[in-house]
Amino acid sequence: MFDLTKAVEQDKAFIDGVWEKLDKKLSVVSERSRDKVPYTTENGTHINNHNISWWTNGFWPGLMWLMYVGTKNETYKKTAERTEELLDEALEGFFGLHHDVGFMWHISAGVNYRITGNEKSKVRTMYAASTLAARYNLNAKIIRAWNSDPCVAIIDCMMNIPLLYWASREIGDPRYKHIAMSHADTTMENHIRPDGSVKHIVEYDVETGEYVKEIGGQGFGEHSSWSRGQAWALHGFVLSYIHTGKQEYLDTAKRIAHYFIACVCDDYLPKADFRSPEEPVLYDTTASACAACGLIEIARNVPEHEGKIYYRAAIKLLKALDANFCNYEMDEDSIVQMGTERWTDKPETIGKTTHIPIIYGDYYFAEAIYKLKGFDLLFE
């Protein structure tokens, strides 16, 4: 297998330098934003997300746990625990929950439990896993994405099902893993095109489970290639391989990775959609941060001659982010800039939903550096 530890030696100065910059800034921001659940910023300051059920709310505590494991600085732990408590309101509300409960609790309460053995954190995470499993449609063999659509699956869910793999191991019940693999198999069949590009949304018949149609989603439109969707798929399938050992998942992750690398290889600055018109030029830095994490995992799970392909691509993505889109100023809260929620050609959205800092950009950028530093893999 590819020796990641050996490979990072040539990039050690870059990796250590970025980690130091992250720690220097986040050690301050973690205290400044302790009572917030941030999504983006306004005038450089984290905005508290008042929708406690919002799908991104686990990334801030997840980021804090990454930094705590890597530094043992108690300020990160305190902030992570505080946010976990705030998220209890979402669990109690129930009806606001959705398939993104993996994003919300697997990397927050789940990590807390895996580090500290906190039983309350275990209960929170199992509650989330059971909620996710309950969304499974037996006929369509998919996990329903949203409460507003009776039988729709989106590629993002590949990043949520690691919660189910964990639950199966934790309580010795294979049902959770079976549901996760069934969803992954259906996604592999219906979301991934032969060239490695990815459909964001697929609708199924709620009764028969038959494939109905592709829906454009957050990319340019139907048949396009939303870059963050590519990243969710790339990263998600290699995680399913790690949890199951099913070779088809790794092969699928590699095919998606080849497409992603081919689309960014000019400058390693990913556009929001790889098949959108040339104008306007919209970047989505969150796509490259997430993809880098997945590429690192592919690298460590393939033979030596293959691994360097994925590792070098990950490093180039991270270096491009650091050089072009990272803000390490201490008086501003976000780090990775130029994230984009969805592709749009409306000028009035610039700075509102496009080219803004988004919390999962910071999370995945830090996670990629964390992995290259060789810290414990507690977040998968």
Interval 307-352: pLDDT, tens: 999 999 999 999 999 999 999 999 999 999 999 999 999 988 888 9
Catalytic one among 156, 273, 333, 362?
A: 156
Of all residues in the chain, what percent carry a pLDDT higher than 90?
97
The CA-atom distances, in angstroms, between 71 and each of 19, 21, 26, 95, 348 are 10, 13, 11, 37, 41
pLDDT, residue 350, reads: 83
Mean pLDDT value across residues 192-221: 97
DSSP labels for 182-195?
HHHHHHHHHTB-TT
Give the pLDDT score at 138.
Answer: 97
Name the band, by pLDDT with cuts 50, 70 and 90, for residue 62: very high
Quote the CA–CA distance of 332 and 327 in Å, as a whole number. Answer: 8
Span 200-222, average pLDDT: 96
Structure confidence at residue 377 (pLDDT): 86
Residue 370: band (very low, low, confident or very high) from pLDDT cuts 50, 70, 90: very high
The domain made up of 4-373 is a member of CATH 1.10.3720.10: no
- Output the pLDDT for position 181: 98
Cβ pair 284, 270 in contact under 8 A: yes
* Alpha carbons within 13 A on the beta-carbon side of 294: 33
Kindly report, residue by residue over 155-166, the tens digit of the pLDDT. Answer: 999 999 999 999
CA distance 257 to 268: 13
Task: For residue 380, name the pLDDT band (cuts at 50, 70, 90).
Answer: confident
Residue 208 has pLDDT above 90, yes or no: yes
Share the mean pLDDT of the chain: 97
- For the purposes of burial, counting CB atoms within 10 Å of the CB of 375, is it exposed (0-12), middle (13-18) or buried (19 or more)? middle
Clarify whether 156 is annotated catalytic.
Answer: yes
Tell me the pLDDT band of 210, cut-offs 50, 70 and 90: very high
pLDDT at 258 over 90: yes
The answer to whether the CB of 339 falls within 8 A of the CB of 361 is yes
Joined tokens for residue 268: 């390693």
Write down the pLDDT at residue 351.
Answer: 87
pLDDT at 326: 98
Query: Among the options 11, 16, 100, 376, which is catalytic?
Result: 100
User: Residue 145 above 90 pLDDT?
Assistant: yes
- 324: amino acid identity, one letter: N
pLDDT of residue 77: 98
Does residue 378 carry a pLDDT above 90? Answer: no
Residue 31 one-letter amino acid: E
Averaged pLDDT, 39-56: 97
**Mean pLDDT within 95-110:** 97
Q: Residue 220: its pLDDT value, please?
A: 95
Confidence of residue 379 (pLDDT cuts 50, 70, 90): confident
What are the extents of the domains in the chain? 4-373
pTM of the model: 0.98
Instruction: Give the pLDDT of residue 347.
Output: 86
